[in-house]
Structure 1
Amino acid sequence: MSSPSPVQIREANAHLAALHRRVAELEQRLEAAEKTVREQAESLIRKDEQLRAATQEITEAKDREISYLHEKLCQSEETIQKFQHTVKEKDALIGQLQHRCQLLDNICKSRPLLDKMLSHMAEAERMGPVVDLGETAINSSLTDGESSCSPNRVSNHKDFSLSEDDMDDQELDGVVFGTTV
């Protein structure tokens, strides 16, 4: 075989040199690309770790907030129960007071009649005992049955008034007024 010519050797050497330059250039680009990919991967790993930490913090904050709100809800429910109990007590008290108010209204409506009756009784008491015209005839007619309205008993009655002392007197609670046949 024949040896290559110097021109061919120069061309081959030039071609090999160009090929080496191209390979070196591609290796540099590959190295730069690998470096960029590595940096991006590290950046993604850091960002992933940051996002995980942020997610963990948010989850913990959410759990704390839920716990706090649950506690507040329980306290509010207890307060509501207390208020409902208080409302029931107040409603019962209102019912009692309304009944008493109705009683007082009825008493106030009856007051003029009671005042009139008391004034008549006081007037009858001021008149004094009946004159002794026929006391013996009256006494003999009463021997058949005693009456609580005899002239002798009129002076024993107290003066009628609406004082608190008289209202406290419980003797008249059982007395029923009416007629007998």
Structure 2
Amino acid sequence: MSSPSPVQIREANAHLAALHGRVADLEHKLEAAENTVREQAESLIRKDEQLRAATQEITNNKDREISYLHEKLCQSEDSIQKLQHMVKEKDSLIGQLQHRCQLLDNICKSRPLLDSMLAQMAEAERMGPVIDLTRPTGDASLTDGESNCSPSGLSNHKDFSLSEDDMDDQELDGVVFGTTV
């Protein structure tokens, strides 16, 4: 075998030096790339942890708000139940008051007739008892003290009954209702 010439050796050494420089440059670039990848991986890990923490905080806030809204919903439903119960009570009261109002309307409609009857009764009282001249003087079966129409007989008479509405309205006895003619 023949030995290489000094020019070939110089060219081979130059080629090896260039190759060695290229390998060193590539190793340097590889190391820089690895550092970049490592930094990016660490950055992604930090961002992932931050996003996890933010997601956890959002989830906690959501859960708190759901709990708060659920509590408000329960309170609202309780309030609705109470209000519905009050509405039923008020409707019942309105029904009772409407019935009493109808009774008062009927009484007011009958008032002129009652006023007329009372006026006639007062006139009859002023006239006094009827004296029958044909009857013997010893037969006094219808005297003023025994008459059912005397004012004292009416005021002491307890054979009538008062309804529950009349009992409630007895406190109105002192009130005088006027009529228009």
TM-score grouping bracket, smaller chain normalisation: 0.7 to 0.9
Q: TM-score, normalised by structure 1?
A: 0.78
Counterpart secondary structure, 1:62: helix
Provide the alpha-carbon RMSD of the alignment.
2.7
Residue type at the aligned position of 2:30: L
Name 1:158's counterpart in structure 2.
151
Name 1:178's counterpart in structure 2.
none
- 1:1-181 equivalence runs, <5 A: 1-131=1-131, 133-136=133-136, 139=139, 150=142, 152=144, 153=146, 157-158=150-151, 171=158, 173=160
C-alpha distance in 2 between matches for 1:112 and 1:125: 20
Displacement after TM superposition at 1:127 (Å):
1.0
C-alpha distance in 2 between matches for 1:7 and 1:155: 165
Q: Percent of pairs identical after alignment?
A: 74
Displacement after TM superposition at 1:157 (Å):
1.2
Unaligned runs of 5+ in 2: 162-181
C-alpha distance in 2 between matches for 1:20 and 1:156: 147
Counterpart secondary structure, 2:160: helix
Q: TM-score, normalised by structure 2?
A: 0.78
Unaligned runs of 5+ in 1: 160-165, 175-181
Name 1:163's counterpart in structure 2.
none
Give structure 1 regions of 4+ aligned residues with deviation exceeding 6 angstroms. none
- Pick closer, same or farther for the CA change 1:155–1:89 going to 2, 3 Å: closer
- Pick closer, same or farther for the CA change 1:78–1:170 going to 2, 3 Å: farther
Residue type at the aligned position of 1:67: S
Deviations 1:106-155 (A, max 9, x none): 1111111111001000001101233563342894xx9xxx6xxx353459
Displacement after TM superposition at 1:173 (Å):
2.0
> How many residues are aligned here?
160
